[in-house]
Amino acid sequence: MSSQDPHISDHDRPTIRQLDDSAINRIAAGEVVERPASAVKELVENAIDAGAHRITIEIADGGKTLIRVTDDGCGMTSRDLPLALSRHATSKIDGTDLLNIHTFGFRGEALPSLGAVGRLTITSRAAGHDAAQIRVAGGKMEPVRPAALRAGTIVELADLFYATPARLKFMRTDRAESQAIGDVVKRLAMAEPSVGFTLRDVSGGGEGRVTFRADPLTGDLFDALHGRLASVLGREFAENALKIDATREGIRLFGYAALPTYSRGAAVAQFLFVNSRPVKDKMLTGALRGAYFDFLSRDRHPAAALFIDCDPTLVDVNVHPAKSEVRFRDPGLARGLIVSALRHALAEAGHRASTTVAGATLGAMRPEAPTANGAARVYQMDRPSLGARNLSYAAQAPGQPQEMSVPAPPAAAPGFAEFQHEYSGRLTDPLADTEAPGQMSDAPEPTAPGAEHLPLGAARGQVHENYIIAQTADGMVIVDQHAAHERLVYEKLKQQMAENGVAAQALLIPEIVELGSNDCARILAQAEELKKFGLGLEAFGGNAVAVRETPAILGEVNAEAMVKDILDELDDQGESQLVQARLEAILSRVACHGSVRSGRRMRGEEMNALLREMEATPHSGQCNHGRPTYVELKLADIERLFGRS
């Protein structure tokens, strides 16, 4: 039984028809307006392009039934309103140069697309003109009418996708759509610190509730950006973020990137902007991941808000109707700038670790449970007897070198005489075999004067043969001796490898790897870079490459599997760090076996030497897997634990 081809009509040939404007707008809406968050993005970007200083977004039922955007921008006249709802009508470009884009919008598709799939009402007033209003529903436009408005523009979109009900079936829950709208508004708020944003959920009517608010900020670029990031991403991110500011060949990178110890379990705190436009670019996110790959394990992700500013002619933003993808004229330049700037900032951070580590430590220290009636227990000492008071006063008086075995008058008591000499707070002294484990030693501690005022302070003890306790000027530091020393050894090994190069092992019989023509060209284009890490490749004729050398430190290597893994990484990220990652993984394991082991008792001078070396070594605040090597507790926090504040 034969079936008719659905692409062949009954006529001799298909008929070419001109689609009407309504159908064209609905098709465009499928590209521009994917969900309510897409509509919010387009409307808020229009408000920013209009020079607004304050923007209010109101939504109902996740934006499905109502989206209202109010701004105090330049507004439009009654003559402008019908033109604004026409396809490809815009005030942002004149069409002569599509590469020199300085605004968010420029395609002229958003408003007619929204009017084609929903009920759109625009009320606007320009300076020196009367306010006017226009409505369009399902692509049918009504005449312009007078309205009441002081200034700016109000765009109200009701019943989104009512004209295309099939699209409603693909909408998610109200909560999910509201969250997507919140993410869009927050990204735009980060891009424009000088603009105030208010997001209000008015589901059910009334004033609703404010779900996000960011007031406009003034002042220096970095001060304003830091304040906006603190309000959007939270105070913890702002406290643990490093300032980034670098320029290379006309491209400037600035923003903030978090310390490795302030990492996330998913890539949910990575925000990238190109000329203030929020983008999701695989190349840029790959560069961000590459900058941190030596500091985080594979299941952890960095947090950052990075902005790239460049001449608009160096980047194409007209890749996709949603304008969320960009294409750089020189992608390698942008990627290299991100990697080098972030690595430089991380190196300058030195031994610094995130403050959240201390917060988590304090959170794990729970106070005693309250009493049965819910009140905290109050400790009241019994009134001491006369003899007990005399003994107490004697212990506190300036001492005399006499024994305290028999009660004595205060004047004859030794008091603090035994504490007048400097003594060690270490729990054990491995050199004193006569001391019992856990007994304190009174040998002088080899600590330089004023060491407490150094960043990691002066060592005062070692507990469980793994953790060093150090005293600082305003608190204390707990150091994981094995993790800290592992990082120090690892950095030394990396430095030696960078200075001396990677030893290559020549293969007795080169391994021939057959590839596709495109893959062969791409892997040979990376041959010089791979040569630096001991992997020698050369063309073998046709679509084959010959692997003649492999890194000696890796031992026996499956060259074919390595080459194909490198190609997969090139496809995914545009650059491969596979060989470097494997080499540094070996160095990490060597550092682990060559570092101070847990369970080893350390002398005071060893502990202090470790602290001083940590202060002088970049990245020593986290181990090779991104975990913190030390925790700093402020004295005020410690006193709060004991109810002394």
DSSP 3-state of 589: helix
Q: Could you give the CA distance from residue 269 to residue 302 in angstroms, rounded to a whole number?
A: 7
User: Concatenated DSSP letters for 153-208?
Assistant: EEEEEESTTSSSHHHHTT---HHHHHHHHHHHHHHHHHH-TTSEEEEEE-TTSSS-
Q: Could you give the CA distance from residue 513 to residue 608 in angstroms, rounded to a whole number?
A: 53
Residue 200 is predicted with a pLDDT of 95
Is the domain of 137 the same as that of 257?
no
Q: Could you give the CA distance from residue 260 to residue 483 in angstroms, rounded to a whole number?
A: 15
Residue 291 is predicted with a pLDDT of 85
Q: Could you give the CA distance from residue 577 to residue 403 in angstroms, rounded to a whole number?
A: 70
- Residue in the block written with tokens 């460049």: 310
The closest of 132, 164, 152, 129 to 35, measured between CA atoms, is 164
Residue 452 is predicted with a pLDDT of 80
Q: Does the pLDDT of residue 44 top 80, yes or no?
A: yes
Residue 121 is predicted with a pLDDT of 94
Q: Does the pLDDT of residue 9 top 60, yes or no?
A: no
Cα distances from 630 to residues 294, 457, 463, in angstroms, run 19, 12, 14
Identify the residue with better confidence: 235 or 166. 235
The closest of 52, 112, 41, 108 to 318, measured between CA atoms, is 108
Query: Where among 556, 576, 594 does a domain terminate?
Result: 594
Mean pLDDT of the 335-343 span: 89
Give the H or E element holding residue 55.
strand 54-60
Residue 186 is predicted with a pLDDT of 95
Tokens of 552: 């000696």
- Between 141-150, 328-337, 594-603, the lowest mean confidence (pLDDT) is in 594-603
Q: Does the pLDDT of residue 430 top 50, yes or no?
A: no
- Confidence at 91, pLDDT banded by 50, 70, 90: low
Q: What is the mean pLDDT of the chain?
A: 78
Is the domain of 56 the same as that of 180?
yes
Is residue 391 situated within a structural domain? Answer: no
Is the domain of 172 the same as that of 265?
no
Is the domain of 38 the same as that of 115?
yes
Strand order in the sheet with 458-463: 458-463, 467-472, 475-480, 630-634
Percent of the chain with pLDDT over 90: 23
Is the domain of 186 the same as that of 246?
no
Q: Does the pLDDT of residue 209 top 50, yes or no?
A: yes
pLDDT tens by residue, 239-276: 888 999 999 988 999 999 988 888 888 888 899 999 88
Mean pLDDT of the 454-479 span: 88
Task: Please state the domain count of the chain.
Answer: 3
Is the domain of 96 the same as that of 173?
yes
Dihedral sign computed on CA atoms, order 606, 611, 615, 621: positive
Are 611 and 448 spatial neighbours (Cβ–Cβ below 8 Å)? no
Q: Could you give the CA distance from residue 350 to residue 621 in angstroms, rounded to a whole number?
A: 7
The closest of 156, 144, 164 to 63, measured between CA atoms, is 156
Angle between the N-to-C axes of helices 110-117 and 21-32, in degrees from 0 to 180, rounded to the nearest 10: 110
Percent of the chain with pLDDT over 70: 72
Is residue 458 situated within a structural domain? Answer: no
* CATH classification of the domain holding 313: 3.30.230.10
Are 315 and 274 spatial neighbours (Cβ–Cβ below 8 Å)? yes
Q: Does the pLDDT of residue 181 top 90, yes or no?
A: yes
φ/ψ of 399, rounded to 5, equals -90, 160
Residue 634 is predicted with a pLDDT of 84
Residue 320 is predicted with a pLDDT of 64
Are 166 and 52 spatial neighbours (Cβ–Cβ below 8 Å)? no
pLDDT tens by residue, 48-72: 988 999 999 999 999 999 999 999 9
Query: Where among 171, 188, 214 does a domain terminate?
Result: 214
Q: Does the pLDDT of residue 113 top 60, yes or no?
A: yes
Residue 285 is predicted with a pLDDT of 87
Is residue 41 situated within a structural domain? Answer: yes
Is residue 90 situated within a structural domain? Answer: yes
Is residue 339 situated within a structural domain? Answer: yes
Is residue 279 situated within a structural domain? Answer: yes
Residue 246 is predicted with a pLDDT of 93
- Between 35-49, 437-451, 502-516, the lowest mean confidence (pLDDT) is in 437-451
Mean pLDDT of the 104-130 span: 83
The single-letter DSSP state of residue 383 is P
Is the domain of 166 the same as that of 75?
yes
Residue 453 is predicted with a pLDDT of 81
Residue 85 is predicted with a pLDDT of 84
* CATH classification of the domain holding 169: 3.30.565.10
Return contacts of 431-436, CB within 8 angstroms, 24+ apart.
431/603
Q: Does the pLDDT of residue 334 top 70, yes or no?
A: yes
Is the domain of 205 the same as that of 231?
no
pLDDT tens by residue, 284-293: 888 898 888 7
Is the domain of 196 the same as that of 228?
no
Q: Could you give the CA distance from residue 504 to residue 523 in angstroms, rounded to a whole number?
A: 18
Query: Where among 173, 188, 214 does a domain terminate?
Result: 214
- Between 89-98, 274-283, 543-552, 623-632, the lowest mean confidence (pLDDT) is in 89-98
Is the domain of 296 the same as that of 326?
yes
* CATH classification of the domain holding 548: 3.30.1370.100
Residue 572 is predicted with a pLDDT of 65
Is residue 548 situated within a structural domain? Answer: yes
pLDDT tens by residue, 353-410: 666 655 666 566 655 555 555 554 444 444 555 565 565 555 545 544 444 444 444 4
Domain that includes residue 521, residue range: 488-594
Q: Is 282 exposed, middle or buried (0-12, 13-18, 19+ CB in 10 A)?
A: exposed
Q: Does the pLDDT of residue 419 top 60, yes or no?
A: no
- Confidence at 425, pLDDT banded by 50, 70, 90: very low
Is the domain of 240 the same as that of 258?
yes
Is the domain of 173 the same as that of 274?
no
Residue 368 is predicted with a pLDDT of 52
Q: What is the per-residue burial (b if ≥16 Cβ within 10 Å, else e) of 202-217?
A: bbeeeeeeebbebeeb
Q: Does the pLDDT of residue 617 top 90, yes or no?
A: no
Is residue 358 situated within a structural domain? Answer: no
- Residue in the block written with tokens 């209010």: 56
The closest of 102, 12, 85, 89 to 49, measured between CA atoms, is 102
pLDDT tens by residue, 549-599: 888 777 777 888 888 888 877 776 666 666 666 666 666 666 676 677 777
Q: Could you give the CA distance from residue 450 to residue 162 in angstroms, rounded to a whole number?
A: 73
